[in-house]
Amino acid sequence: MGYPETFDGFCPKPFESHDVDVQIECCGVCGFDIHTVTGGWGEFKGPLCVGHEIIGKAVRVGKDVKNIKEGDIETYALTHSPHKVEDAKKLGAKEVIVTSDDKKWAEPLAFKFDFVLNCSDMTNKFGLPTYLSILKVGGQFHMVGLPDKPLPEVPDMDAMLKLAADKGVRPQVESIDISEKACKEVVERVRDSKVHYRFTLTRFNKAFGTK
């Protein structure tokens, strides 16, 4: 597969004034991809492009696009258990609360937070009302993970990305050069929860060339 005009087996929509063509340099692999390729979100028909949370360069920008110009680098990053406490602290967490330790974990935190960011893709298995109880009145609960169940659309994440950039928040990832063998490995390891904490497929230019 190459760039849009040379795609084989997949025909992208025509480029329009609000579109941006991104030359991908690397992308993350997570539960979203596993749910897709295993049919967890329903049967699909190929060809199928998996992988998201991309990093790449804008190589073509429509005339009506705002805040992005050619050459800009666009970053999208999406990221529960006792063994993660130490890593969370290293990443700057003021306090780490292990919700599996106590069924009443939320009671002392009632109405405490303005904002809760949920990164789990297993939201169909925990008590959402309990999590919502720790929000202040008018607080926001944002989800960046989805289970194999239909949920409302994820809200716009511009503010979250800006906060991460302003505060210097960086993800912990494992990188691997993209290839057929590598894709098989990352899908199996993500499925088996054997990655800390996100796989990133890299060296797209080596595999697909550059424009």
Reported as a single tens digit per residue, the pLDDT across 46-97 is: 666 656 566 678 888 999 887 778 887 657 333 357 777 777 676 556 677 8
pLDDT band at 166 (very low <50, low <70, confident <90, very high): very high
Pair 78, 145: CB distance under 8 Å: yes
Calpha distance 204→210 (Å, rounded): 8
- Interval 108-135 mean pLDDT: 77
The pLDDT of residue 1 is: 39
The pLDDT of residue 130 is: 82
Same fold? 1-79+171-211, 80-156: no
On average, the pLDDT of the chain sits at: 76
- Interval 24-52 mean pLDDT: 72
Q: Using the predicted structure, report yes or no on whether residue 7 has a pLDDT greater than 80.
A: no
> DSSP 3-state assignment of 36?
helix
Handedness of CA 61, 67, 73, 79 (dihedral sign): negative
CA distances from 3 to 60, 73, 77, 93 (A): 12, 18, 23, 41
Q: Using the predicted structure, report yes or no on whether residue 117 has a pLDDT greater than 70.
A: yes
Looking at 3.20.20.140, 3.90.180.10, 3.90.1150.10, 1.20.1260.10, the CATH number of the domain 1-79+171-211 comes to: 3.90.180.10
> What residues contact 74, with CB distance under 8 A and at least 6 apart?
20, 22, 54, 55, 56, 57, 58, 68
The pLDDT of residue 167 is: 92
The pLDDT of residue 84 is: 76
The pLDDT of residue 138 is: 83
80-156: which CATH topology? Rossmann fold (3.40.50)
Domain boundaries, the chain: 1-79+171-211, 80-156
Reported as a single tens digit per residue, the pLDDT across 178-206 is: 898 988 998 898 888 888 888 888 888 88
